[in-house]
Structure 1
Amino acid sequence: MSKRLSLLFFFLTAMILVLPAMADNDDPYLWLEDVEGEQALAWAEKQNERSLAYLEAHPLFDSLHERALQIVTSDDRIAYPSLMGGAIYNFWRDSQHVRGIWRTATLEAYREGDPEWDVILDVDKLAKAEDENWVWAGASCRYPDYDRCIIGLSRGGADAAVRREFDLEKREFVKDGYWLPEAKSRISWRDRDSVFVGTDWGDDSLTTSGYPRQVRIWERGTPVQEAKLVFEGERDDVAVTGVRVWDSETPHDLIVRSPGFFTRHYYLYRDGETHHIPIPDDAALAGIVGGQLLVELKSDWKTGSHQFAQGALISTSMESLNKGKPEFELVYQPTVSQALVGVSTTENRIIVGVLENVIGRLYTFRREEGEWKRERLAVPDMGTINVVSTDDKSDRFFYNYTGFLTPSTLYEADAAADSHQSIRSEPERFSKEGLVVEQLEARSADGTRIPYFIVKPDGLKEGDTRPTLLGAYGGFEVSRTPFYSGIIGSSWLEKGNVYVLANIRGGGEFGPRWHQAALKENRQRAFDDLVAVAEDLVERGITTAEQLGIQGGSNGGLLVGAVFTQRPELFNAVVSQVPLLDMKRYHKLLAGASWMAEYGNPDDPNEWAFIREYSPYHNLHEDADYPKVFFTTSTRDDRVHPAHARKMVARMMEMGHDVLYYENIEGGHGGAANLKQQAYIAALIYSYLHGRLGGENAAP
């Protein structure tokens, strides 16, 4: 599409969108917010029946489904390790254990490649025995002995979970042990016989976001109702929690109050009193090692004689902090092309993950003669590096390396010796022959350069356009980096198509500044960035509007929802998964109130004015020519309310627009509760994309 035509489409579309489609307070579909209401579920089941009949009839559906199932349940996937007390722990799902098993092995056996796993808990068997739809929700084990754990079990994959104490040595739940009913609880070990706990106590004990606002200490053998209150936040906070953090053998009790999604007040809790840690509200504690407290800065900060820049990692001694006179010093300052994306600690070292122009790097830091010394680890280049697990009794750690055409490889490393070795590698799930990866840039509406990765057939010439899937997220300082996906590769790339990942503003690819550039009244920048990448792909002759599709989930679902309502002529396929779409009521639905720091408060007329400009639900028009959008959600998603997708679909259908919808009755915010559901939803999505974007398997 030429620039002239692109601008013409923009102005024509803008002329349509200035006319409001629905009055702000006129919502005929509030009844769809009744998550498990009989009428709402009947509506969802009817839409499922209609849409699934269409999608499953695609000639590729069966083969896509079969291949996706093989990939997600294959036994040759990496069993990612969690180090506890020198042993390896792993949670595993496969075709025989669709809900999963929690298991352990020795480090030596794990290194050798084929350990005899010792199964600790079989969630499939537990679900059958207790007649519950259990989904694993993690385990928190008691340091330093790791003999007792608090295990989370969620019904259908919701965030709310039951918490039960488990004896790791006897392999059984503890009778009369710590137990909490289903809620979005917070529970953390302090010592053998006490925990920090926050849960739904009734009587205004939750925040407006639905999370605990009280921290209590619960002594073993006493009723939870008698747990001692040690801290209480405000009703409009996001959450409050208590946690014990260990620095080798030294414990530190912390209370964290989150007034907003990106603000925190930290307190040391000792001798029955709380002591505020004097750091900026938007800073984040990153750990404690060698008596040094680590802090990540999200904005510039002047303290004493020191001036620290946004994005820095700084430290202060616990000794000076306990005396009330902390002195901070710089550990690491990213450059303008870098972003700090992860801080981990071993027994003696800090491991810092860095993105450099969206390529992964690892650095280690040690304290020597009162100063921080930095070393760059010799990790593989041109991919994504993630620290998987660290050891608190040594400087050993595991990290993962991956790229678009490189299957994940797990490395064991020693941060002190800068040594590493490959432990596991996944096999290739698709043929990469003839495929190449490039990093390109588009120029957004305000002139900002937006980088993006493209995976395409080598030698693709201008004008030889291909069906193209464009993905992005653009929110909450989440970075989207190169990754290997057997499903994308086998379902899309192997068939001669193109995949693109855009690093738009709102994410964390270039640190806090990249995220903050698209907050609240500047949200349109994220949408403009995605449009810029889409237009750049068309301008370069890689694809056409008829062959271009976009995909996003959660905040990414909002992203693609806003973009297709603003620029419907630019795309022929839209996949919006577990999305936010009704931005007038998002803060009143489930955990939505916690995201007002990202989007703004719709109840404030000044803030609603800019939210109203992009809210997908409020910018639908009967006479617009939208592509046939595919929305997916989950009944059991208790983070982003399924009513967002429900109401959007109902409104579009009322206007006469063709739309597809699938609501998984379980699955939580991830959309799928087990591997079989993941494979099924993937087959639905790629059947839809092939049908919409052309090629020999396109729908008529």
Structure 2
Amino acid sequence: MKRLVLALLASTSFMTLTPAIAADSAKPAEARTPLSELGKDDPYLWMEEIEGTRALDWAKAQNARSLGVLQGDARYADLQANALAILNAKDRVPGVSFAGDGSLRNFWQDADHVRGLWRKTTLDSYRTAEPVWETILDIDALTKAENANWVFKGASCIPPEETRCLVALSNGGKDAVTVREFDTTTKSFVPGGFVLPEGKQNYTWLDKDTLLVAREWAPGELTDSGYAYVLKTLKRGQTLDQAVELFRGQKTDVSVSPFVLRDADGKVVAVLAHRGVTFFESEVYLLEGAKPVKLDLPLKSSIQGYVDGQMIVLVEQDWPAKGFKTGDLISFDLAKLKAAPHKATATLVLRPTARQSVEQVQTTRTKLVVGMLDNVKGAAKVFTHGPSGWTVQSLDLPANSAIGLGSSDDKSERLFVTVTGYLTPTTYWLADAGALKLEQVKASPARFDASTHVVEQFEATSSDGVKIPYFVVRPKGVKYDGQAPTLLYAYGGFQVPMTPGYSGVMGKLWLERGGTYVVANIRGGGEFGPAWHEAGLKANRQKVYDDFFAVSQDLIARKITSPRRLGIMGGSNGGLLMGVALTQRPELYNAVVVQVPLFDMIRYSQIGAGASWVGEYGDPAIPSERAVIAKYDPYSNLKPGKKYPEVFIETSTKDDRVHPAHARKAAARMMELGYPVLYYENIDGGHAGAANLAETARRQALEYTYLTRRLMD
């Protein structure tokens, strides 16, 4: 069974949310500050009009100025050509997923297919050096035929055959998508089939003639975060106004989404609604009786899948009433749970240690496969359910690597697994979870000379004594004299772990040219499970930044690098981290790459999807929480007379998640104060920052040109 993902957002930015804990009855609630009062005197409010003429004219002018500098550097052309050659390489290994019709499916982009091909092959063909591919849908041809700006956002296909699919198409890369029913046998959109107009919407198949859809049914019928909270059933042939309401959340929620649990043969075994009260806390309702029934689950928990009659749940907070701890993986007998939702008992599947976490969960026909992190290194365990509970065995995969669980086959015990490292190109394995057999079916070609570098893992001590691990990828012969040009990357939020991974572009454009690369596993991420994330929430946010500074200082103390040669990079929540580093500890860095950032934290809940992240950062409308945010808010803490290094700020006009106004206002405010700023706004691309590989190559070449100028020259 394909992994059941209850994420609200499909991307990488990986921003999520939680319902507030009940207030202490002895403590009166604080009076909220009207949102209209927050930042009302900001002279750059006009930049929040995402495609306003004045804002776009400003962005285009800054693009022209900054591109003139970076693209005018003699090294840019070579960096861009190398990046594009890697991204467009014909010998890239295509990742695939099992489909119910027996095929393997893949989405592919290259120089000849800029927007991409959705295509398929057979397993036998995939095993060969040159698989034979059959096109299902050509996005470039579709875009040309419809005179549109389509970006493919995936397809949801109904089991067991998976030949009828809901194809998601985005205008320029936005999160908002148009959804259209597609037939993979005829390779065409279904005449008179399901069509969901553009919107941020959550949907799934119930049966071949019924969808479960949460969307903006009436104008303004969205949460404060800009997502759907009304779930309806839509029958084939019905118009949207004929859909029947099934479940309704609240406007203050983050979102509501439908999902179904299916057995290995595609039969629906449970119909549920996921109510995201906040980004990290949620309620799950069973939708099979006269009215929805809320399941007795912790607010911080997530359903991971279904196998052999068992519903698998990851517990993300202590559950003392049931005897479970934060990070436990548990299971419920689904039949008993449905029969008596408030009496069902759970069984422990796995309890990680303090330095372990459950990273991924996948199911095959009868097996539960769990991807683990052990001190930020990967492992995969196979669990089998029996009369006495769960038994466990291990897949014998390469050690000291990042392990990724890919698509699984409902008809067998097979699943794809990837293995990668900073200096090791990704290998693709076909695992048999029943026989514990492994077959390496593909290996990515090396994109840079890794023989000159080694990988090490160190620990820094943060301000409160907590040990913070980090990886260093450095030249073997580096002298510890503080002169190594070093790029430090981190994220530190939303329970997202930073694990070892191979980047051909980073290796070619940075490592092969003598650079050192560092990844910090700071709190706020998921490297050590939910508790590692919890340690950096809201009032504890400064700990995340102190962890980052501790790693920075440790690199300097070890004389791996020095402030003159140390640069930092981060995107989205990591872009906020960059802004804090810039304003709190500018003396540590000589280069700062700020990608699609959050930056104005006083107004963040009012722009883009910001209201959905109150569970991560706190609510600026509550005075006590705003006081915490104000201490680290990069925008209001930009001051004159500081020794800020020249920064490079990037964003995308089409980013409807983290609004481009954050980046625009950061750049404008810094320039007003007289600081040197380079700025680039991609007109397309969404939150990932690129709608096609050519744009990705351009952005990466710009970044490494900037880093070269700041750290290597």
**What's the TM-score bracket when you normalise by the shorter of the two chains?**
over 0.9
- SS of corresponding position for 2:472: strand
- SS of corresponding position for 1:510: coil
What residue in structure 2 maps to residue 381 of structure 1? 399
Contact 2:172 2:685 in 1 (8 A): yes
TM-superposed deviation, 1:35: 0.8
1:496-551 C-alpha deviation (Å, 9 max, x unpaired): 11100000000000001110000001111111111111111111111110110000
TM-superposed deviation, 1:464: 5.4
What residue in structure 2 maps to residue 73 of structure 1? 88
2:155 to 107, 121, 139: 139
What residue in structure 2 maps to residue 17 of structure 1? none
What residue in structure 2 maps to residue 19 of structure 1? none
Matches within 5 A, 1:162-177: 162-177=178-193
Q: Write the distance in 2 (CA, Å) between the matches of 1:216 and 1:667.
A: 30
Q: Write the distance in 1 (CA, Å) between the matches of 2:124 and 2:273.
A: 38
Q: Write the distance in 2 (CA, Å) between the matches of 1:90 and 1:147.
A: 14
Q: Does the C-alpha gap of structure 1 residues 206 and 151 become closer, same or farther in structure 2, counting only changes over 3 Å?
A: same
- The answer to whether 1:30 aligns with 2:14 is no
What residue in structure 2 maps to residue 408 of structure 1? 426
What residue in structure 2 maps to residue 533 of structure 1? 551
Contact 1:197 1:217 in 2 (8 A): yes
2:453 to 431, 435, 455: 435
What residue in structure 2 maps to residue 217 of structure 1? 233
1:497 to 502, 509, 515: 515
- SS of corresponding position for 1:278: coil
The 10-residue stretch of structure 1 (286-295 or 659-668) with the greater mean CA deviation from structure 2: 286-295
The 10-residue stretch of structure 1 (101-110 or 550-559) with the greater mean CA deviation from structure 2: 101-110
Letter in 2 for 1:633: T
TM-score for the superposition, normalised by structure 2: 0.93
2:213 to 197, 201, 224: 197
Q: Write the distance in 2 (CA, Å) between the matches of 1:111 and 1:461.
A: 44
Structure 2: segments with no counterpart, 5+ residues: 1-37
- The answer to whether 1:463 aligns with 2:478 is no
- The answer to whether 1:185 aligns with 2:201 is yes
- The answer to whether 1:619 aligns with 2:637 is yes
Contact 1:568 1:627 in 2 (8 A): yes
- SS of corresponding position for 2:69: helix
TM-superposed deviation, 1:663: 0.1
Q: Write the distance in 2 (CA, Å) between the matches of 1:235 and 1:579.
A: 26
TM-superposed deviation, 1:390: 0.7
Contact 2:511 2:517 in 1 (8 A): yes
Letter in 2 for 1:474: G
Q: Write the distance in 2 (CA, Å) between the matches of 1:527 and 1:186.
A: 34
1:50 to 60, 65, 90: 65
What residue in structure 1 maps to residue 614 of structure 2? 596
Letter in 1 for 2:338: N
Contact 2:358 2:373 in 1 (8 A): yes
Matches within 5 A, 1:254-265: 254-265=272-283
- SS of corresponding position for 1:491: helix
TM-superposed deviation, 1:122: 0.2
Q: Write the distance in 1 (CA, Å) between the matches of 2:196 and 2:247.
A: 19
What residue in structure 2 maps to residue 647 of structure 1? 665
1:248-286 C-alpha deviation (Å, 9 max, x unpaired): 244121111110000111111114532221111111111
TM-superposed deviation, 1:434: 2.2
Contact 1:24 1:618 in 2 (8 A): no
Q: Write the distance in 2 (CA, Å) between the matches of 1:494 and 1:235.
A: 51
Letter in 1 for 2:534: Q
Q: Write the distance in 2 (CA, Å) between the matches of 1:103 and 1:526.
A: 42
Structure 1: segments with no counterpart, 5+ residues: 1-22
What residue in structure 1 maps to residue 498 of structure 2? 480
What residue in structure 1 maps to residue 585 of structure 2? 567
What residue in structure 1 maps to residue 138 of structure 2? 122
- SS of corresponding position for 2:536: coil
Q: Write the distance in 2 (CA, Å) between the matches of 1:599 and 1:290.
A: 39
Letter in 1 for 2:435: A
Q: Write the distance in 2 (CA, Å) between the matches of 1:671 and 1:434.
A: 31
- SS of corresponding position for 1:621: coil
Q: Write the distance in 1 (CA, Å) between the matches of 2:482 and 2:576.
A: 31
- SS of corresponding position for 1:627: coil
1:530-584 C-alpha deviation (Å, 9 max, x unpaired): 1111111111111110110000000000001111110111100000000000001
Q: Write the distance in 1 (CA, Å) between the matches of 2:289 and 2:683.
A: 48
- SS of corresponding position for 1:617: coil
What residue in structure 1 maps to residue 249 of structure 2? 233
2:174 to 158, 163, 166: 158
Q: Does the C-alpha gap of structure 1 residues 203 and 427 become closer, same or farther in structure 2, counting only changes over 3 Å?
A: closer
Q: Write the distance in 2 (CA, Å) between the matches of 1:208 and 1:58.
A: 44
What residue in structure 1 maps to residue 469 of structure 2? 451
Contact 1:113 1:423 in 2 (8 A): no
- The answer to whether 1:605 aligns with 2:620 is no
Contact 1:258 1:264 in 2 (8 A): yes
1:41-63 C-alpha deviation (Å, 9 max, x unpaired): 00000000000000011121010
Q: Write the distance in 1 (CA, Å) between the matches of 2:241 and 2:564.
A: 60
What residue in structure 2 maps to residue 63 of structure 1? 78
TM-superposed deviation, 1:430: 0.5
Letter in 2 for 1:185: Q
Q: Write the distance in 1 (CA, Å) between the matches of 2:291 and 2:133.
A: 45
What residue in structure 1 maps to residue 435 of structure 2? 417
TM-superposed deviation, 1:203: 4.5
- The answer to whether 1:41 aligns with 2:40 is no
- SS of corresponding position for 1:616: coil
TM-superposed deviation, 1:643: 0.1
Letter in 1 for 2:64: E
TM-superposed deviation, 1:204: 4.1
2:651 to 633, 636, 655: 633
What residue in structure 1 maps to residue 109 of structure 2? 93
Contact 2:469 2:521 in 1 (8 A): yes
Letter in 1 for 2:429: Y
TM-score for the superposition, normalised by structure 1: 0.95
Aligned-pair identity (%): 48
The 10-residue stretch of structure 1 (82-91 or 131-140) with the greater mean CA deviation from structure 2: 82-91
TM-superposed deviation, 1:24: 5.3
Q: Write the distance in 1 (CA, Å) between the matches of 2:169 and 2:305.
A: 27
- SS of corresponding position for 1:590: coil
Contact 1:90 1:103 in 2 (8 A): yes
- SS of corresponding position for 1:515: helix
Q: Write the distance in 2 (CA, Å) between the matches of 1:541 and 1:294.
A: 47
TM-superposed deviation, 1:640: 0.2
Q: Write the distance in 2 (CA, Å) between the matches of 1:219 and 1:310.
A: 40
- The answer to whether 1:111 aligns with 2:154 is no
TM-superposed deviation, 1:114: 2.1
1:666 to 684, 708, 713: 684
What residue in structure 2 maps to residue 302 of structure 1? 320
Contact 1:314 1:330 in 2 (8 A): yes
TM-superposed deviation, 1:404: 0.5
Contact 2:650 2:681 in 1 (8 A): yes
What residue in structure 1 maps to residue 348 of structure 2? 330
What residue in structure 1 maps to residue 386 of structure 2? 368
Contact 2:148 2:171 in 1 (8 A): yes
What residue in structure 2 maps to residue 656 of structure 1? 674
1:635-688 C-alpha deviation (Å, 9 max, x unpaired): 000000000000011111111111010000000000111000000000000000
Letter in 1 for 2:352: P
What residue in structure 2 maps to residue 577 of structure 1? 595
- SS of corresponding position for 1:495: coil
Q: Write the distance in 1 (CA, Å) between the matches of 2:257 and 2:221.
A: 13
Contact 1:105 1:115 in 2 (8 A): yes
- SS of corresponding position for 2:119: strand
Q: Write the distance in 2 (CA, Å) between the matches of 1:509 and 1:464.
A: 29
Q: Write the distance in 2 (CA, Å) between the matches of 1:529 and 1:301.
A: 28
Q: Write the distance in 2 (CA, Å) between the matches of 1:370 and 1:100.
A: 49
What residue in structure 2 maps to residue 516 of structure 1? 534
TM-superposed deviation, 1:591: 0.8
Runs of 4+ in structure 1 displaced over 3 angstroms? none
- SS of corresponding position for 1:641: coil
